[in-house]
Amino acid sequence: MRPVNLYLLTRNQNKNTYTPFENILSARHERVPVKEHEFQSLRHLVDILWQQGVAIPEMDGFFYSYTIRQIGKEFDLLKVCVNRKVLNIELKSLAVSEEKIERQLQKNRYYLGTLAPQLELYTYVEETGKLYTLKEEALCETSFTELTAVIKNFQIYEDGNLDQLLQAKNYLISPLNMPEEFLENRYFLTQQQEMIKKTICEEMGRNPLQNPQKADANKAQFWGITGIAGTGKTLLIYDLAKEMAQTGRVCLIHCGMLSEGHKLLDSMMQNVDIISVSDLLACALSIYAFLLIDEAQRMSENALDFIREKAETERKVCVFSYDYFQILSKTEQRRNIPAQLEDLPGFQELKLSGRIRSNREMNSFIQTLLDLKNRQQGDRYTYENVDVLYAANALEAERIIRFYQTERGYTFIEYDEPLADCPGDINVLEAAGMEFDNVIITLTSHFRYNEDGVLQGNAHPNPDYSYYRLLFQSVSRTRERLCIVVISDETLFAKVLSIQQY
């Protein structure tokens, strides 16, 4: 995508050609429809600027309707001079509350603050003819004379693609990896996450522990939040815990091993206790108004029955977060907790769709690693962020892994037999809900491809676990870069390497 000249863009007034004309001028790779009311608001703003004396060259360099990929954050107008200043103008055809305008500009400040120290943030409301800006964190009405001066002084600007400057990874946090940022509220939820949070919190007001006047005192509330890896379940469940803690005590139950991130959040979050599901039966749940269960697909039937009994008896709000495809053992597969949740009285499932955490190229590689036929069907990626390496033995593998750990900042996720002198940075069983920019793993003769090109795993020493599922859990923690070290299996190495040779 490239910037456009606003004067040239708005000369076309034929609604039948708005979209193709804008898409061509902006050099979009994918068709983006232009709504008539939005285009008319832009037209009116340009007419005002023209009357204020803004010349055609000064209207150059604006990105129109730019969206940060993966998280869907959109900006109506952007003009950027990296490391110096950014001009952002939002367009409203109809009047909206000043509270909404301020909230949007505050969010824009957060996202654009990574680009430059000086941010000029405005909102033009066509219906009222008013112009707003942020000054010292507060919204105030301003004049078009001020905006004109800002535009006239903005002579140097970026004319390349903003995708490299506004990357989703700079705004996505994991509470378990980045607890300080989470506790300091240095993040925003996606629109879909916000909708789910709003739905649960609005219904929460009918719970007798929060609002006796509106509640059916005989009912608990059971909610489910589901979605595949990377859709933002963990952030949402911890954000809910923080929200709920303002009105009652929260027990957040993690169905797995507690990581250092869990322990740190437990010590720092007000009115929230984080426990492992293994400690559930010994926990006095009666002191909590809210029960939040993360990685619920891994919990036992006894744990589910215990939570149900306590919730129904004491009318608690329960929220389960789960992903059926992230099960690690055969026992988890057989008991199918997500299906059992549907039998809870009044259970409502809310679904997160669309990955926000992982990039398309990495997703494509992981899917092709599991099934080589996917390479023929998918996008023609080069997979430049994936290294496939060979080690003749465990000693060579240890050397490679230590090099990637110390020199390149990779996290070694251990899921296979441990290497004697190179322990993993984290075990796969601890990594649930976590993510890492750079991940390195091993691939051994425990794996092979069948005649159809589908990756298969040998039997695990623990009959309840599956090498295949442990591998998938490990690689799906990757945000940016992945390194696979194939140990002493040249046939397997050649197969994996072929993914990058297509």
> The tokens of 262 are what?
């869990």
155-169, 187-201, 276-290: which has the highest mean pLDDT? 276-290
pLDDT of residue 207: 46
pLDDT tens by residue, 365-379: 999 999 998 876 555
Q: What confidence tier does 461 reach under pLDDT thresholds 50, 70, 90?
A: confident
3-state secondary structure of 502: coil
Residue 187: pLDDT over 90: no
What percent of the chain lies above the pLDDT cut of 70?
Answer: 94
pLDDT of residue 159: 84
Q: Rounded to a whole number, what is the distance in angstroms from the first to the last CA of the chain? A: 27
The angle subtended at Cα 417 by Cα 256 and Cα 450, nearest 5°, is: 100
Residue 341: pLDDT over 60: yes
Q: What mean pLDDT is reported for the chain?
A: 89
pLDDT of residue 72: 73
Residue 19: pLDDT over 50: yes
pLDDT of residue 170: 74
Q: What is the pTM of this model?
A: 0.74
Q: What confidence tier does 192 reach under pLDDT thresholds 50, 70, 90?
A: confident
Question: What number is the average pLDDT over the span 11-32?
Answer: 88
Beta strand pairing call for 63-68 and 118-125: unpaired
Question: What number is the average pLDDT over the span 430-446?
Answer: 89
414 DSSP β-pair partners = 427
Q: For residue 231, what are the contacts with CB-CB under 8 A and spacing of at least 6?
A: 352, 353, 354, 355, 356, 357
pLDDT of residue 70: 66
pLDDT of residue 208: 41
Residue 381: pLDDT over 90: no
pLDDT of residue 210: 47
Domains along the chain? 4-168 (3.90.1570), 177-349 (3.40.50.300), 358-497 (3.40.50)
pLDDT of residue 379: 58
Largest CA distance in the chain: 77
pLDDT of residue 443: 96
Residue 181: pLDDT over 70: yes
pLDDT of residue 358: 53
pLDDT of residue 212: 40
Other beta carbons less than 10 A from residue 281's beta carbon: 10
pLDDT of residue 329: 84
Question: What number is the average pLDDT over the span 185-209?
Answer: 80
Q: What confidence tier does 390 reach under pLDDT thresholds 50, 70, 90?
A: very high
pLDDT of residue 93: 95
Question: What number is the average pLDDT over the span 417-436?
Answer: 86
Please tell me the least confidently modeled range out of 124-128, 232-236, 289-293: 232-236
> The tokens of 146 are what?
């001020």
> The tokens of 300 are what?
């036992």
Q: What confidence tier does 209 reach under pLDDT thresholds 50, 70, 90?
A: very low
Q: What single-letter amino acid sits at 298?
A: R
pLDDT tens by residue, 53-101: 999 999 999 999 998 876 778 999 999 988 889 999 999 999 999 999 9
User: What is the C-alpha to C-alpha distance for residues 46 and 54, in angstroms, rounded to an integer?
Assistant: 9
pLDDT of residue 288: 95
pLDDT of residue 250: 96
Tracing tokens 């909102």 back to the chain, one arrives at: 123
